[in-house]
Amino acid sequence: MLDGLSLDQLRTFVAAADSGSFSAAGRMLGRAQSVVSRTIANLEGQFGVRLFERVGRYPVLTAQGTSLLADARRIVTDADQMRARARSLADGLEAELAIVVDVMFPQPRLTAGVTDFKRSFPSTPLQLHVEALGAVAQLVLDGICSVGITGTLPFPPPSLSAEPLMSEELLTVLAPDSPLAMVDGVVPLRMLLDETQLVLTDRSRLTDGTDYGVQGKNIWRLSDLGAKLAFLRAGLGWGHMPRWLVEDDIAAGRLVPIVIEGPAAGIMPFQAVYLSNALPGPAGRWFLQRLSQTC
């Protein structure tokens, strides 16, 4: 019968297997060898199988013991993680961190931040969304995410609080065989109007109908930044892109940067937004501070 199976028995089993002897397991657990031996014997009786052979100086795992050890180890680990998670929740740590990040945010910085987050908060699940334009703030307003990282929301709604995070340089780029790439110096506005501009489309209600950096007459709108990059490489138009995403293409000659007449692509400032009545908890605050740092 397994009804009386305890976590203490399984922890003793794992300690005996890992240490190689009942006496070493006793020292590890702060118990007498006799207590460890009795605990293992009781566990074997409950399982109905022998876990260790005791024919030599040191106990040796049986085949059944080796098979059950993996299960015991998993249960002990899960229990330890559950206990740590309960302590964290009691201290105010979020049960889950739901973040939405602007698609223009530097991916290397985000990946480094998530990697460190997993290391620092191993028991806190992370839910990560990637959106564009007003859709970032919309997920926060709708209560789907607790924190948003947006780069295109100069005037957040009154219900949102915002704080500056970092900035990313934007470049105007196109394929090297484009007519605009042949211009020496500043590309005049009249030439821009004759070429196709590739821009991201807004899928949210928040900034629907608001254009960011749109300067051409012939506009192609895409919902995916990866598709925009592919279209730029294919010579289907020109557009503004974050430096982190196109610097390898520029170095390889697949794209070229240009300087255009009028407002330049410039710098995109990123800010963290969250509901004014629901400030980030310990994990959210830590994550924002980590993203504000360089990789």
pLDDT digits (tens, 9 = 90+) for 112-131: 999 999 999 988 899 999 99
For 190, left (φ over 0), alpha (ψ -120 to 50), or beta?
alpha
Q: Does the pLDDT at position 154 exceed 70?
A: no
145 with 282, same domain: the answer is yes
- ∠ CA 264-268-272, rounded to 5°: 165
Residues 223 and 149 in one domain: no
The answer on 129 and 18 residing in a single domain is no
Tell whether 179 and 259 lie within a shared domain: yes
pLDDT recorded at residue 281: 86
Mean pLDDT confidence for 126-152: 90
Contact call for residues 165 and 271 (beta carbons, < 8 A): yes
Examine the domain organization and report whether 132 and 263 are in the same domain.
no
Please give the pLDDT value at position 57: 84
Of the candidates 187, 197, 260, the residue with the CA atom closest to the CA atom of residue 231: 197
Q: Residue 110 has which token pair?
A: 């985000």
Mean pLDDT of 5-16: 91
Please report the pLDDT score of residue 295 as a whole number: 56
The pLDDT value recorded for residue 196 is 92
Rounded to two decimals, what is the model's pTM? Answer: 0.65
User: Is the model's pLDDT at 248 over the cut of 80?
Assistant: yes
Domain end residue (candidates: 39, 62, 90) = 90
Please report the pLDDT score of residue 198 as a whole number: 93
User: Strand 196-200 vs strand 160-174: parallel, antiparallel, or unpaired?
Assistant: unpaired
Residue 21 maps to a domain: yes
Do 25 and 35 have their domain in common? Answer: yes
User: Highest mean pLDDT range out of 132-136, 157-161, 251-255?
Assistant: 251-255
Residue 234 has pLDDT above 70, yes or no: yes
Residue 204 is predicted with a pLDDT of: 65
Instruction: Give dist(CA 193, CA 217) in Å, integer.
Output: 5
Check whether residue 62 and residue 119 sit in a common domain: no
Which CATH number covers residue 254? 3.40.190.290
Q: What is the pLDDT of residues 20-66, one digit of tens each?
A: 889 988 888 888 999 999 999 999 999 999 999 988 888 999 999 99
Which of residues 182 and 156 earns the better pLDDT score? 182
Residue 177 and residue 223 in one domain: yes
Full residue range of the structural domain in which residue 43 is found: 7-90
Tokens of 144: 């789907």
pLDDT at 1: 46
Q: 49-78: string of b/e by CB count within 10 Å (b at 16+)? A: eebbeeeeeebebeeebeebbeebbeebee
* pLDDT above 70: residue 220: yes
One domain for residues 209 and 249: yes
Mean pLDDT of the chain: 86
Show which of 43, 60, 90 is a domain's final residue: 90
* pLDDT of the residue at 123: 83
Per-residue pLDDT of 172-207, as tens digits, reads 999 999 988 988 888 888 888 888 999 988 776 655
pLDDT greater than 70 at residue 10: yes
- What average pLDDT does this structure show over 241-251? 96
- Assess if residue 151 is contained within a domain: yes
**pLDDT surpassing 50 at residue 80:** yes
Q: Which one of 90, 110, 128 terminates a domain?
A: 90
Quote the percentage of the chain above a pLDDT of 70.
88
| Structural domain count, the chain | 3
Q: Are residues 175 and 263 in the same domain?
A: yes
Q: Could you tell me if 161 and 285 lie in one domain?
A: yes
Q: Please report which confidence band the pLDDT of residue 242 belongs to, taking 50, 70 and 90 as the band edges.
A: very high
Mean of pLDDT values over 253-281: 86
Q: Is the domain of 54 the same as that of 143?
A: no
